[in-house]
Amino acid sequence: MSLNFCFIGAGNLATQLAKALFSKGHHIVQVFSRTETSASTLAQLVNADFTTNPAEIVNSSDVYFIAIKDSAFSEVLPKIDFGNRLVVHCSGSVLMNVLENYSNNFGVFYPLQTFSKQRNVDFKNIPVFIEANNRENEELLLNIAAEISEKVTILDSERRRTLHVSAVFACNFVNHLYHIAGNILKSKAIDFDVLRPLILETALKVQAFEPAEVQTGPAVRFDENIINLHLAELSGMPEYQQLYETISKRIFEQQKK
Amino acid sequence: MSLNFCFIGAGNLATQLAKALFSKGHHIVQVFSRTETSASTLAQLVNADFTTNPAEIVNSSDVYFIAIKDSAFSEVLPKIDFGNRLVVHCSGSVLMNVLENYSNNFGVFYPLQTFSKQRNVDFKNIPVFIEANNRENEELLLNIAAEISEKVTILDSERRRTLHVSAVFACNFVNHLYHIAGNILKSKAIDFDVLRPLILETALKVQAFEPAEVQTGPAVRFDENIINLHLAELSGMPEYQQLYETISKRIFEQQKK
């Protein structure tokens, strides 16, 4: 069954999701973005029309995917005529019910992944979390999600937000630690590349184990001597020093449990 | 050229390194650990003798690999007769010169990776950092390292310590963030497994890009609304709440640069 979709937003998530759905034979009718180059770039990839004007969005799409910044919802959505069709957003922390003002048919389609325009991801392994205002819409969203992912689950708004918070730690904050590690190396002119095998192995380890089972390093060994050497090493970077102390203490205390 | 090696220590690193050297045809003469099961387990894997008594360690090995906890050096090493052979340690943060009391031939053999006994790693991609007290020992260590790794570099003690600090952020602290993410999910009975594809993709992204180029999440989007929702969500976990605030602020400020 081939459906018609509109994408409101043309960022990282919209790009990857639209491409995945397009590859399954669905028709991407139209892409909206306030930035013309973003709209036209995605539109071209999925053989769609594009617009930068919310008033020009067609009102006959089967599903509208809202993939814009959460803070832009209240500015953009009131300008769109959704023709009472199914409107879903793709945000981790926005309640489903914010959509009830725009259509009688609404829901959430939340793929838990970090998306970039440059990197294609295989949707097959990406968990997708679904919520809808009624059984019929839920069924439709489950079917669409199951075409691209093997891991589709129904999840309410409250638990989705918890999931999003945890993902911020596991992804966004982790990436920032990679950045800090790179900055520390930069101070001695060592290239970030030396850390790449370590970073990958750290992520691979927890694919099979729980993180607490495979925790390594000075803090988990209670190696105060090394911890103090490291804190001294970071004396010129007080913010990193403080973070080192805080996280080491947390690892130490978790270990005692 | 097949050499004779002794391993002082039978932990994660010793296990993986001894296995890698054994697989290249070297002879592992003896494994020492204060814990008999550790010593005998590794000894069996690499066809070696084992002992739990430092005084029983043979004094005719070509190279001694010290792979015990840094804080145990001063207790264990004075009890060993190294017969003035080449003694190297495998620690990120211990200066090479601490070995000068034990032999006239000493150095460092530091593989930058997180090791577990349960997971075999391919040494080929692991950066190995070498330091030695003279050119001849340096040459020997470079040759041994090059047999198992394609990424061998000479690095002095001071820069090796910097590298170790950065690795604590990129690996040990990252793993602890995985653990925190899992704990947050546990509070709503969601399984850690949903995070695994996200964790892997986050590590894969920085294999090709610099972390700052691929930073995602509410902090980098300046999405204060979401950040405040997340802080409220973490109100029952004040330590995680504080960490969320600290790291978000750092991402935010880094972005402004």
* Residue-wise pLDDT tens digits, B149-196: 999 999 999 999 999 999 999 999 999 999 999 999 999 999 999 999
Contact partners, residue B171, CB within 8 Å, separation at least 6: A198, A199, A201, A202, A216, A217, B114
Q: How far is A163 from chain B (nearest CA, A)?
A: 6
Task: List chain A residues with CB under 8 Å of B214.
Answer: 114, 116, 175
Contact A177 B159 (CB under 8 A): no
Is A79 in CB contact (< 8 Å) with chain B? no
In this prediction, does ipTM exceed 0.90?
yes
The model's confidence at residue B255, banded by pLDDT at 50, 70 and 90, is confident
- The nearest CA of chain A is from the CA of B83 a distance in Å of 29
Chain B residue at shortest CA distance from A212: B179
On whether the CB atoms of residues A31 and A7 are closer than 8 A, the answer is: yes
Instruction: Tell me what the mean pLDDT of segment B110-123 comes to.
Output: 88
pLDDT score at B256:
73
By the 8 A CB rule, do B255 and B215 touch?
A: yes
Say yes or no for a CB contact (<8 Å) between B182 and A211. Answer: yes
Pick the last residue of a domain from B133, B155, B177: B155
Nearest to A155, CA basis, from A105, A109, A88: A109
**Interface list for A 182-201 with B (CB within 8 A):** 182, 184-185, 187-188, 190, 192, 194-201
Confidence category of residue A253, pLDDT binned at 50, 70, 90: confident
pLDDT at A28 over 80: yes
The pTM score is 0.94
Q: What mean pLDDT comes out for the span A60-76?
A: 94
Q: Which positions in chain B touch A115 (Cβ < 8 Å)?
A: 216
What's the Rg (C-alpha) of chain B?
Answer: 22
Nearest to A201 by CA among B175, B19, B30, B147: B175
Q: Which residue of A has its CA nearest to B163?
A: A185
Sort A138 into a burial class: Cβ within 10 Å, 0-12 / 13-18 / 19+.
middle
A74 touching B, CB under 8 A?
A: no
> Distance between alpha carbon B237 and the CA centroid of its chain, in Å?
30
Question: Is residue B176 domain-shared with residue B207, that is, in the same domain?
Answer: yes
On whether any CB of chain B is under 8 Å from the CB of A175, the answer is yes
pLDDT over threshold 90, residue A1: no
Q: Which DSSP category does A121 fall into?
A: -
If one counts the domains in chain A, the total is 2
Pair (B15, B111) in one structural domain: yes
**How confident is the model at residue B161, as a pLDDT?**
96
Structure tokens of B170? Answer: 């990129």
Mean pLDDT of A142-152: 98
Q: Do B199 and A206 touch (CB under 8 A)?
A: yes
Q: Give which of A68, A130, A160, A179 to mutate to test B binding, by max B Cβ within 10 Å.
A: A179
- The pLDDT assigned to A224 comes to 87
Residues 6+ apart with CB under 8 A from A17: A7, A65, A67, A90, A109, A111, A123
Structural domain including A251 reads: 160-256
Residue B141 sits in the same domain as residue B70: yes
pLDDT, mean of residues B12-25:
96
CATH number at residue B45: 3.40.50.720
User: What average pLDDT is seen over chain B?
Assistant: 95
Q: What is the model's pLDDT at position A121?
A: 87
Strands (E), B19-150: 27-32, 49-51, 63-66, 86-89, 105-111, 128-132
Report pLDDT digits (tens) over A200-226.
Answer: 999 999 999 999 999 989 988 878 889
Domain match, B15 and B128 both: yes
Mean pLDDT of A231-251: 95
Give yes or no: residues A244 and A118 share one domain.
no
Contact criterion met (CB below 8 Å) for A77 and A68: no
- How far is it, in rounded angstroms, from Cα B188 to Cα B83? 60
**A256/A230: higher pLDDT:** A230
Q: Given an 8 Å threshold on Cβ–Cβ distance, is A179 in contact with B93?
A: no
For residues A139 and A174, membership in a common domain is answered with no
Q: Do A179 and B254 touch (CB under 8 A)?
A: yes
Region B196-224: what's the mean pLDDT? 93
Give the C-alpha separation, A206 to A255, whole Å.
Answer: 17
Residue B132 C-alpha, separation from nearest chain A C-alpha, in angstroms: 20
Tell me the pLDDT tens digit for each residue of A161-186. Answer: 999 999 999 999 999 999 999 999 99
- N-term to C-term CA, chain B: 53
Give residue A247's identity as a one-letter amino acid code: I
> How confident is the model over A87-101, as pLDDT tens digits?
999 999 999 999 999
Which residues on A lie below 8 Å from B244 (Cβ)?
165, 168-169, 173
State how far the Cα of B233 lies from the Cα of B241, in Å rounded to an integer.
9
Query: Minimal Cα–Cα distance from A149 to chain B, Å?
Result: 12
Q: Mark which of A155, A189, A206 sits at the end of a domain.
A: A155
Q: What is the pLDDT confidence band of residue A192, given thresholds at 50, 70 and 90?
A: very high
Q: What phi-psi label fits residue A127: left (phi over 0), alpha (psi between -120 and 50 degrees) or beta? A: beta
A191: nearest Cα among B163, B257, B174: B163
Residue B103: the pLDDT is 97
Residue that finishes a domain, picked among B139, B155, B171: B155
Same domain for B24 and B151, yes or no, is yes
Residues of A in contact with B180 (CB under 8 A): 166, 169, 250
Cβ neighbour number for residue B257 with a 10 Å cutoff: 5
The answer to whether residues A18 and A134 belong to one domain is yes
pLDDT at B117 over 80: no
SS3 B87: strand
Smallest Cβ distance to A177: which of B165, B177, B214? Answer: B177
What does the longest C-alpha to C-alpha distance in chain A come to? Answer: 67
Whether A243 and chain B come into contact, CB under 8 Å, resolves to yes
Mutation target for B interface from A178, A184, A196: give the one with most B CBs within 10 A: A178
Residue B121, pLDDT score: 87
Cα R_g (chain A), whole angstroms:
22
Q: How far apart are CA A214 and CA B114, in angstroms?
A: 9
pLDDT at A255 over 80: no
Q: Do B94 and B114 belong together in one domain?
A: yes
Specify the residue for token string 């039978």.
B10
Helix, strand, coil fractions of chain A, as percent rounded to 5: 55, 15, 30
Rounded Cα–Cα distance for residues A19 and A21 (Å): 6
pLDDT in tens, A104-145: 999 999 999 998 877 888 999 999 999 999 999 999 999 999
In this predicted structure, the answer to whether residue B224 has a pLDDT above a threshold of 90 is no
Binary contact (A159, B188; C-beta < 8 A): yes
B59 touches chain A (CB under 8 A): no
Residue of A nearest to B227 (CA): A165
Which residue of chain B has the CA closest to A121?
Answer: B201
Task: Say how far apart CA A197 and CA A79 lie, in whole Å.
Answer: 48
- Express each pLDDT in B39-79 by its tens digit: 999 999 999 999 999 999 999 999 999 999 888 999 999 99
Report how far apart, in Å, the C-alpha atoms of A203 and of each of A111, A207, B172 are.
Answer: 20, 7, 11
**Residue B225 predicted with pLDDT over 90:** no
Query: How many other CB atoms are found less than 10 A from the CB of residue A35?
Result: 11
- Looking at residue B209, which CATH number applies to its domain? 1.10.1040.20
How much is the pLDDT for A221?
A: 81
Same domain, B165 and B115: no
Where are any strands of DSSP class E within chain A? 4-8, 27-32, 49-51, 63-66, 86-89, 105-111, 128-132, 152-154
Instruction: Specify whether A31 is located in the same domain as A151.
Output: yes
Grade residue B223 by pLDDT with cuts at 50, 70 and 90. confident
Spatial separation of the C-alpha atoms in residues B155 and B142, rounded to whole Å: 11
Q: Are A74 and A50 contained in the same domain?
A: yes
